[in-house]
Amino acid sequence: MNAPHLIRPAVAADAPAIHALICELADYEKMSADVVSTPEMISDSLASGHAEAQLAEIDGAPVGFALFFHNYSTFLGRPGIYLEDLYVQPAHRGCGIGKSLLLSVTDIARERGCQRMDWTVLDWNQPSIEFYESLGAKIQHEWLLVRLDADALARLDCAGA
């Protein structure tokens, strides 16, 4: 049964609620020590357009979010959307909120002429993998995530290349 919920675009003033949900997500993913963002940083990112979010609410209380931004496919010659995080509080899972959040972002992608949407999922998160596959998403096993963290970025400068 679907919970009566509202999905709406997040605004900068929603940053404290989104940040609290990010911290819950990090705890779920056993990555709490990696969270260095602040509500102010989230607010700045939303206000500047560097990131966008959809917020799920039940009776005015935030229960989930989807945070995303644009990327670009050189092969398609078109923009896409990268879904950075999708999270629904455990007490509200299985009620259609995650699907509503994801569909709200896919609606935005279609409206903006995006040709695809990408995101990652932890390999141990079987419930999420099954959820994404049930919606038609294809897990790209041949692709590996590559990351330069802040320390690596600092070490790599044009003069030292």
SS3 of 82-110? EEEEEEECHHHCCCCHHHHHHHHHHHHHH
- Select which of 28, 72, 87, 132 is catalytic: 132
Give the whole-angstrom CA distance, residue 4 versus residue 56.
Answer: 10
Dist CA 110 CA 35 (whole Å): 31
CB burial readout 6-33, b (16+ within 10 A) else e: ebeebeeebbebbbebbebbbeeeeeee
132 is catalytic: yes
pLDDT digits (tens, 9 = 90+) for 7-33: 999 999 999 999 999 999 999 999 999
Confidence of residue 128 (pLDDT cuts 50, 70, 90): very high
Residues 103-122 have pLDDT tens digits of: 999 999 999 999 999 999 99
Degrees (nearest 5) of the Cα angle 27, 106, 2? 65
Sorted by where each starts, the structural domains of the chain and their CATH numbers stand as 6-160 (3.40.630.30)
At 139-153, the pLDDT tens digits run 999 998 999 988 898
**CB proximity list for 47: less than 8 A, separation 6 or greater:** 12
- Answer whether 114's CB lies under 8 Å from 79's CB: yes
